[in-house]
Amino acid sequence: MAEDTKEDTQQQQKQGERSVPRPQFTDAEAGALTFPSSESRSFNYFEPAKMRATTYEDVTVDVQPDPSRHLTQGWIYGFAKGPGGYPAEWTELKSSDWHVFLDPNEEWERTIYRNNANVVRQIQYNLDNAKSEKAFDRWNGAWVTFVERHVGAWMHIEHGLGMHAFVRAQRDAPTNMINNAISVNGMHKLRFAQDLVLYNLELDDQIEEFDGKAHQEIWDSGSEWQPVREVVENITAIPDWAKVVFVANVIFEPLVGELFRSGLVMQLAAPHGDFVTPTIMGAGEADYDRDLKYTRELYSMLTGDETHADHNKATLNEWLGEWTPRVLDAARQLQPLWSQSEAKTVRFEDSLEQARARFAGILDDLGLETPQEVK
Amino acid sequence: MGRQSLKKSHEKIQELSWDPQYATPADKYTTDYTFEKAPKKDPLKQVLRSYFPMEEEKDDRVYGAMDGAIRGNMFRQVQERWMEWQKLFLSIIPFPEISAARAMPLAIGAVPNPEIHNGLAVQMIDEVRHSTIQMNLKRLYMNHYIDPAGFDLTEKGFSNCYAGTIGRQFGEAFITGDALTAANIYLTIVAETAFTNTLFVAMPSEAAANGDYLLPTVFHSVQSDESRHISNGYSILLMALANEDNRQLLERDLRYAWWNNHAVVDAAIGTFIEYGTKDRRKDRPSYAEMWRRWIYDDYYRSYLAPLEKYGLVIPHDLVEEAWNRIWNKGYVHEVAQFFATGWPANYWRIDGMTDEDFEWFEHKYPGWYDKYGKWWENYNRLRHPNGHGPIAFEDVDYQYPHRCWSCMVPCLIREDTVMDEVDGQVRTYCSETCHWTDAVAFRPTYQGRETPSMGRLTGKREWETLYHNEDLADIMTDLGYVRDDGKTLVPQPHLDLDDPKKLWTLDDVRGYPFPSPNVLLNEMSPDEREAHMEEYRRGGPGGRPAKETADA
Ligand SMILES: [Fe+2]
Ligand SMILES: [Fe+2]
C-alpha cells in the first residue's frame, strides 16, 4: 500500500472526519441538449408486442442472449457432452421463434412479490380470524382426520413439483420469458406447500386430537396416494423442460390437482363447518389459474407455429397418450377419499367428470385431441 | 411472523421434503463431486411466509427512491463520465443475475440435502428479482440521462461486443459444466462471496460520489439478499469438504474460479471505479485499497483461509499474484487503457483523463504518469475527428494486444503472456493460470482422474476473429452502434455533445481495416511466431511496443 495513502488515512482520523464528495451541477439531464439519438428513449433491439414496450418486456426480453438473435461469439462455456447456454434442442418441441412468447401475467420483480406477499398476508389474516372466532372447535373428529392426512399429503405434491419439476425446468428453456414464467410457477408451488405445512402446524396447536405428523405416513404408504406419488416422481424424472411443464400443468393439474383441491376439499369443507381450509386451498387454485395462463399461451404458440405446428401437435399428442392414462389412473385411485366423508355432498364421478371437462377444454384451446380415456 | 416462531415454522417446513420411492429427478446436470446425505442446517431459516412481504417492502423503498430521484432532478448532478460506464456495466450485470437463478437447479441436483434446497430455491427467485430490478434501473437511466444512446441498444451490445463477452463468463460459468464447479465454487464461493463486495459495495459508493444515488439504492437492496446466498454456498462447501475425494476438485475449481473472477471482475469494476469517476479527493480509497480491504482481508484472510483446517487447499499463490497484478503490474490501468484504445468498437463514450486525474493517479499509484500519462495526453489530442483515425490506428506508441483465450481480457501484462498450441490452434493467454485453465482444468481428465462432468471452453473466443481485416466503418454498422441519424457513432472518445462537428461518424472511421491478432499469429511460421511473441513479451507497460534492440 502506498505510504501517502496511509498518511491520508491517518490525517482523516486526526481530523475525525472523512471528506465528502461535493455535488456538482452537470446538467446531464434528458433534453438538456439536442444531438443524434438524444431522443432515443426505448430499447431498440426487440420488437414490442404492441406499440410501446411494457415494463415487463423491457426488463425481460433478451436478457438471456441467443445465438439466433444478437449473440455473435456463441456460448463460451460448453458441457462435456454438448453445447452450453440454452440449446433449443433441449425440448422435442420446435418453434420458429421462441422469443414470441410473452408471459400474459407479465411477471417481474414487483408483481412476484406483491402477489405472493398478498397471498401470505391473506392466509395469515384468515387464520387469525378463525382462531379468534374459535372456528376449529366446530370441526368433528372425522374431518380433523381428513385434514391432517389428506390435505396434509397434498403439501408434498406441491413441494416436490415445485422443487424438482419447475425450479429445475427453469434452467432450460431457450428464452428468458419462458424461464422466468416457469420459475415463478415454481415459487408458487413452494409457497403453497409451505402455506399448507404451516397451516398443519397451526392446526396441531389449535386442535388437540390433530396429529401433525400423520401426513408423512400417508404420503409414504397410504394406498390412495401411492399412484399419485408415483406420477409426481415420474414427472420430476422427465428431462425435457417443455414436457415437464406440459405434463404437470396441462395433464396433472386438471386431472389430479383441481380434482382434489376443488373437486373434493373445497366441496367437503363447508358441510363440515370448516371455512378456513377452503381459503388456503383457494390460494393454490388461484396460483394454478395464474400459471395456466402462461401455459396456455406457450403451448398454443407452439401448436399454432407457422412451420412446426404439425410436429408439435404430434409430439404433444404423443405425450398425452403416454401420460393421460397414468394420471387418470392415479386420479381414480383417490376415489376412496370421497367416500370417507360423512357429508355425501359430492360424488367422485361428478368431481372427475368436472376435471375431465376442464382438461378437455384446455386441450381444445390448444388445438389438441382429447385422449380416448377422458372422452 | 405471527405467534408461530420462525424457528418452529422453519423446523416444520422440513417435513415437506421426501425421498423418492418410484423415480428419481432427472440428473441432467452432473458433477464429479461426491456427496453423502448428511443433516445440514440452513442457519438463516428461510421461510416464504416472511420472505415475500419482506422483499415487497424492500421493493417499495427502492421504487420510492426512484420516484424521488426523478422529482429531485438527480440527473442535473450526475457525472457523465460515470454514467457512460454504466452503459457497459448495466448491460452485463442482469445476465449474471438471471444466470444465478438458472444455476440453482444445478446445485439442488448435486447436493442431496433438502434443507439446503429450500435456501437455493429462494435464491432462485431473489435472482429473478435482481435481474429485473437492474433492467428497470437501466431503463430509468435511458429515460432521464442526457445521452440515451448505448442504453437503448443495451442487451444487443452485451451480446455482440467483446466487452460484453468478457462479462458473459460471469454468468455462463454459473450454469454450464460440472454442476458443483459452476453453481457452487464459481458462483457462490468466489463470485458472490468475494467479488460482489466490489460490485455491490464499492460501485454504489462511487456512484454516489458521482451524483447518482439510485445505483446505491438498487444495489444495496440487491446486496441485502446476498448474505443468504453466501450462507447457502458455504453449507455446500462444508459438505463437499467432508469427502476427501472432493478435495482435488475443490483445489482445481478454486484456482480456476478465483483467477477467472479476478481477471474479469477486477478488469471491469477496477476500470469503472478508477477511470469512471470524477471524485479525485485524495482520501477517496483507490480500487487497490478497496480490494486490499474487502477481497484480501475480508474474503481471503477472514473467510477462505480459515477453511484450510478443514482440508481446503487455498490458492495462496494466486491471491498474491492477483494483488501483484493490481498493485505492481498495473492491471486496472492497462485494462482501462485498452478499453479506451478500443473506443470505436464500444457502445459508450469514454472521457479522457485530465491533469486533476493525473495527479490523483500519481498520488495513489506512484509512477503512473511515466507509464500511462503520455498515452492519455494523446487520447485527448485525438479526441475530436480532424482528419486522423481513432487512436488505435494512430502512432501513439501502443501495440494492439493479443487476447487471452481463457479470460478473454487481452494479454496486457505483456511479459506474462503465454503462447501454446491447444486443440490444434495457436492461442495466447494473459497468464500461466489462464493457460492452465484451458489446457489442464477444462478437460475430461484431471491429474489422471476422470472428470467426465467438467465443462469446455467454447465459442468464438477472440472477438477480432469475427471481423478479421474488415473496415471499421462496416464493423460498426454491423454491430449497430450507430445513432439515429444513421451516421454518428454511439461511442465517442470524449463527452462533448454540444457541437456535432466533435462527434465521430462512420465516415471518420472508414478506411481502417481491423485485423485479428490471433488470425495473424496462426498465419505465421513457427519461427516467426516465436520471434513475434518474444518481442511482444518485451513490450509494455502501457502497451508500448518493445524497443527495437533486445538485449539478447
Ligand atoms: Fe444476485
Ligand atoms: Fe486470462
User: What is the rounded CA–CA span in Å between residue B280 and residue B201?
Assistant: 19
* DSSP 8-class letter at B457: E
Report, in angstroms and rounded to the nearest whole number, the Rg of chain B calculated over CA atoms: 24
Q: What is the DSSP letter of B11?
A: H
ipTM of the complex: 0.96
Instruction: Show the cell assigned to A112.
Output: 412476484
Whether residue B469 contacts residue B513, with contact meaning beta carbons closer than 8 Å, is answered with: yes
What's the half-sphere exposure (Cβ side, CA atoms, 13 Å) at A252?
22
Q: Which three cell numbers stand for residue A255?
A: 386431472
> To which residue does cell 361428478 refer?
A350
> Which triple of cell numbers denotes residue B76?
442535473
Is some CB atom of chain A closer than 8 A to the CB atom of B211?
yes
B447 and chain A in contact, CB less than 8 A: no
Give Rg (Cα) of chain A. 26
* Span B51-92, pLDDT tens digits: 999 999 999 999 999 999 999 999 999 999 999 999 999 999
Residue A2, pLDDT > 50, answer no
**B67 touching A, CB under 8 A?**
no
- Strands B449-450, B456-457: pairing is unpaired
- Please tell me if residue A221 touches chain B, with a CB cutoff of 8 Å: no
Task: Write the DSSP assignment of B404-447 as a string of letters.
Answer: -TTT-SB--SGGG-EEEEETTEEEEESSHHHHHIIIIISSSEET
The alpha-carbon gap from B363 to the nearest alpha carbon of chain A, in Å, equals 7
Q: How far apart are CA A286 and CA B60, in angstroms?
A: 24
pLDDT at B57: 96
Give the pLDDT score at A33.
98
Beta carbons of A241 and A86 less than 8 angstroms apart: no
Distance separating alpha carbons of residues B329 and B323, to the nearest angstrom = 9
Helical H segments across B145-266, by residue range: 154-160, 162-175, 179-180, 196-197, 203-209, 214-223, 226-241, 247-261
Three cell numbers, residue A367: 388445438
A361 C-beta neighbours (distance < 10 Å), count: 12
B368 three-state secondary structure: helix
Handedness of CA A247, A252, A255, A258 (dihedral sign): negative
Beta bridge partners of B488: B505
Instruction: Tell me the CA–centroid distance for residue B191 and ligand 2, in Å.
Output: 16
Q: Do residue A78 and residue B456 have CB atoms under 8 angstroms apart?
A: yes
Of B405, B531, B503, the C-alpha closest to B458 is B405
Asked if residue B131 lies in contact with residue A63, where contact means CB atoms within 8 angstroms, the answer is: yes
A44 at interface of B, judged by CB pairs closer than 8 A? yes
Phi and psi based region of residue B542 (left: phi greater than 0; alpha: psi -120 to 50; beta: remaining):
left
How many secondary structure helices (H) and strands (E) does chain A include? 16, 1
Alpha-carbon gap, residue A240 to B421, rounded angstroms: 38
Shortest Cα distance, chain B CAs vs residue A72, angstroms: 5
How many angstroms separate the alpha carbon of residue B127 from the centre of ligand 1?
5
B197 in reach of chain A (CB within 8 A):
no
In chain A the beta strands, taken as DSSP E runs, fall at: 77-78
Residue range A225-259, pLDDT digits in tens:
999 999 999 999 999 999 999 999 999 999 999 99
Contact predicate B524/B532, CB 8 Å: yes
Q: Which amino acid is at B194?
A: A
The grid coordinates of residue A355 equal 376435471
Cα–Cα distance for residue pair B268/B257, rounded to 1 Å: 16
What CA–CA distance (Å, rounded) separates B261 from B198?
A: 12
User: Which CATH superfamily groups domain A104-374?
Assistant: Ribonucleotide Reductase, subunit A (1.10.620.20)
Q: Verify whether the Cβ–Cβ distance B155 to A8 is below 8 Å.
A: no
What pLDDT is attached to residue A1? 40
Q: At what angle do helices B48-71 and B214-223 cross, to 10 degrees?
A: 170
| Contacting A residues, span 79-98, partner chain B, CB-CB under 8 Å | 79-80, 83-85
| Residue A29 at interface with chain B, using a CB cutoff of 8 Å | yes
The rounded Cα A115 to chain-centroid distance in angstroms is 13
Q: Do B13 and A198 touch (CB under 8 A)?
A: yes
The residue type found at B489 is L
Q: How far is A48 from chain B (nearest CA, A)?
A: 14
Which cell goes with B499?
457541437
β-strands B445-446, B425-429: how paired? Answer: unpaired
Name the residue of chain B whose CA is nearest to A8's CA: B283
- Of the listed ligands, the closest to the CA of B427 is 2
Query: How is residue A135 annotated by DSSP?
Result: G
Residue A158 and residue B17 in contact, taking contact as beta carbons nearer than 8 Å: no
Give the number of the ligand closest to the Cα of residue B195: 1
Quote the pLDDT of residue A343: 67
Average pLDDT of the residues of chain A: 94
- Whether A190 contacts A159, CB under 8 Å: yes
> For residues A20 and A297, which has the higher predicted lDDT (pLDDT)?
A297
For B489, which DSSP code? B
Q: What is the pLDDT of residue A372?
A: 87
- From the CA of A344, how many Å to the nearest CA of chain B? 31
Summarised one tens digit per residue, pLDDT across range A10-57 is 444 444 566 888 889 999 999 999 999 999 999 999 999 999 999 999
User: CB of B503 within 8 Å of any CB in chain A?
Assistant: yes
CA separation for the pair B233, B192 (Å, rounded) = 9
Nearest one of B62, B203, B197, B208 to B140, comparing CA atoms: B62
Residues within 5 Å of ion ligand 2, judged at the Cβ atom: B 263, 404, 406-407, 430, 434
Cα–Cα distance measured from residue B342 to residue B479, given in angstroms and rounded to the nearest whole number: 14
Q: How confident is the model at residue A9 (pLDDT cuts 50, 70, 90)?
A: very low
- Inter-chain contact A120–B48, Cβ cutoff 8 Å? yes
Instruction: For chain B, give the mean pLDDT.
Output: 95
Residue spans of beta strands (DSSP E) within A31-115: 77-78
Contact at CB, A202 and B4, closer than 8 angstroms: yes
Of A46, A64, A238, the CB nearest to B26: A238
Tell me the longest C-alpha to C-alpha distance in chain B.
81
Domain ranges of chain A: 104-374
DSSP labels, B380-415: HHTSS-SSS--GGGS-SS-PPPPB-TTT-SB--SGG
Side-chain-side CA neighbours of residue A210 (13 Å):
23
pLDDT of amino acid B200: 78
Torsion angles phi and psi, residue B29, rounded to 5: -105, 105
Q: Which residue of B135, B409, B495 is the best one to mutate when testing the A interface, meaning the one whose CB has the most A CBs within 10 A?
A: B135
Residues (pLDDT < 50) of chain B are 1, 3, 550-552
- The answer, for B309 touching chain A at a CB cutoff of 8 Å, is no
* pLDDT for B552: 41
CA atoms within 13 A on the CB side of B61: 13
Chain centroid to CA B157: 15
Separation of A172 CA from ligand 1 center, angstroms? 19
Centre of ligand 2 from the C-alpha of residue B434, in Å:
5
**Backbone angles phi and psi of B328, in degrees to 5:** -100, -25
Which amino acid would we find at residue B187?
Answer: L
Give the residue among A271, A53, A36, A275 at the shortest CA–CA distance from B500: A36
Strand partners, B470: B514
Judge: A83–B56 Cβ closer than 8 Å, yes or no. no
Note the pLDDT tens digit of each residue in A66-122: 999 999 999 999 999 999 999 999 999 999 999 999 999 999 999 999 999 999 999
